[in-house]
Amino acid sequence: MGKKNQQEFVQHITARNEDFSQWYTDVVRLADLMDYTPVRGCMAIKPYGYAIWELIQKQMDAEFKRTGHKNVSMPMLIPESLLLKEADHVEGFAPEVAWVTQGGTEQLTERLAIRPTSETIFCTMYARWVQSWRDLPLLYNQWCSVMRWEKTTRPFLRTSEFLWQEGHTIHATAEEAQEETMKMLGVYRDFCEQVLAIPVYCGQKSEKEKFAGARATYSVEAMMQDGKALQSGTSHNFGTNFSEPFEIKFLDKDGVQKFAYETSWGTSTRLIGAIIMTHGDERGLKLPPKIAPVQCVVVPVAAHKEGVLEGARAVADRLTALGLRVEFDDRDNVTPGWKFNEWELKGVPVRIEVGPRDLAENKVVCVRRDTFDKQSVSIDEIETVIPEMLDAIQTNMFEIARTFRDEHTADVFNMDELEKQVNGGYARAMWCGDQACEDLIKEKYSATSRCMPFDQTPIADTCVCCGKPAKKLIYFAKAY
């Protein structure tokens, strides 16, 4: 990337409080995460960006396995008749479905939807796979891409095609389905907070915001550095909304045919967008160590001098042997200073500089991406110091993000306060439960209800909007 690009970049990110959106776009581009494709609204994820996704995938999948789930693969094309079976669902998705109308040279008699989500196809298969209560539950997940014909797109946050995982489960009882819905919401919450270092609010979506066809939708909501909300994962309880039209029936212990209870839950490459916007700073991306494709980069200084390259490589090898993800940057066409800036832009948590001066003293210089603290460390101690440093960075990044979020969340008791608060944060308010109030708040302040937290300790008696008796504690924010 050119020097001029860099200067422009610095200007953009310095001004990120005024133009966070431009800052985000620049970080995505300059950190070499993605590129645009000739296909409308789709992106090509580049190796560095995809490596983040692979780490998300690997660690999240381990959680799914731990909680008893198995992976499957379902077809990408869904016959229109299947999509039409659940009325709310088709109504919700119809505007953004892409259709296949021709196969080879043959015009199709029934057009095929490119999956926007796979509830319908899962249900169709589940109906064939389940007969007895002994077959239940089915706890399946798939990693795939889906397509939604979005009007406007934004890299990682909303693209026409995106990578995600969708879990679909069916259960014998409503209680079990609800338990599953909450369990997976918890998996998402823990993953966001412990792996991605992103604090989230979780709770139930309002009727207006819930998933098309769901009985109840729950979500984890993150806060970006401009105070806007990003829905980072959802978990739905469908009850028997799908199993009835799709006839997923089983013979229960009591000899009675019953409909199964269904759930679904999903997260997507949007999480990468969340990482960028939660942690990034004026120098670019800042990755939590657990998700960083490169956890530490070793940069030789004055590499032409005798022994430097070998010494630096030895340091990199020793850290690699610990199981860390290490990059040894021995490029000879850019200066060390260039490398420092580039790896900071890419968000690498720890940089290790190895030069002649260090080697003479059997030391290396370690620099933290989160604090920029420089520390001279004896080479004999790197095996203990570097892993500790990575842990400290992970913890510190979460604490910083949580402090930011807490400082940008406030209780509001009237519309003026709400307007002020959603202009750069979350507003916690009491709500009467009436959709008219949500509509009004959206119309006036372009903020939407995010979720109703599980701790419903009231903060007032009346609705923030209409003043009628309040029923729910709820978060409002502007959303991506």
Partner RNA sequence: CGAGAUGUAGCGCAGUUUGGUAGCGCGUUUGGUUCGGGACCAAAAAGUCGCAGGUUCAAAUCCUGUCAUCUCGACCA
Applying the rule CB under 7 A, the residues between 418 and 457 that interact with RNA are: 446
CA angle 380, 385, 387 (to 5 degrees): 125
Which residue do the tokens 């409080």 mark?
17
Q: Give least dist CB 161 to RNA, A.
A: 11
- CB 148, CB 164: distance < 8 Å: no
CA distance 171 to 453: 25
The reply to whether 23 sits near RNA by the rule CB under 7 A is: no
Q: Please report how close the Cβ of residue 189 comes to RNA at its closest, in angstroms.
A: 14
Contact residues for 54 (Cβ-Cβ < 8 A; gap 6+): 293
CB of 333 to RNA, least distance (A): 5
Spell out a b/e string for 321-348, using b for 16 or more CB atoms within 10 Å of the CB, else e: eeebbbbbbeeeeeebeebbbbbbbbbb
Nearer to RNA, 189 or 470 (CB): 189
Q: How far apart are CA 103 and CA 85, in angstroms?
A: 24
Among the residue ranges 313-321, 331-339, 412-420, 452-460, the one whose residues contact RNA (CB under 7 A): 331-339
Given candidates 1, 15, 44, 87, which one binds RNA under the rule CB under 7 A?
1
Among 141, 219, 240, 449, binds RNA (CB under 7 A): 219
For residue 39, what are the CA distances in angstroms to 117, 159, 160, 256? 20, 11, 9, 51
Instruction: By CB under 7 A, name the one of 48, 133, 143, 338 that touches RNA.
Output: 338
Q: Which residues, numbered 155-174, are part of the site for RNA (CB under 7 A)?
A: 155, 158
Please tell me whether residue 313 binds RNA under the rule CB under 7 A: no
Measured from the CB atom, is 153 or 421 closer to RNA?
A: 153
Interaction of residue 212 with RNA, rule CB under 7 A:
yes
Q: Which is nearer to RNA, 332 or 407 (CB)?
A: 332
Q: Which amino acid makes up residue 137?
A: P
List 106, 110, 254, 332, residue binding RNA (CB under 7 A): 332
Binding segment (CB under 7 A) for RNA, from list 70-78, 79-87, 204-212, 289-297: 204-212
Work out which of 77, 321, 322, 334 binds RNA, going by CB under 7 A: 334
Instruction: Compute CA 64 distance to the chain's CA centroid, rounded to the nearest angstrom.
Output: 16
What residues between 122 and 151 interact with RNA by CB under 7 A?
148, 150-151
Total residues binding RNA (CB under 7 A): 72
Residue 116 has, within 13 A of its CA and on its CB side, a CA count of 24
Give Cβ neighbours of residue 304 (< 8 Å, ≥ 6 apart): none
From first CA to last CA, the distance across the chain in angstroms is: 29
**Residue 99 or 372 having the CB closest to RNA:** 372
Contacting residue, 239, 266, 289, 349, with RNA by CB under 7 A: 266
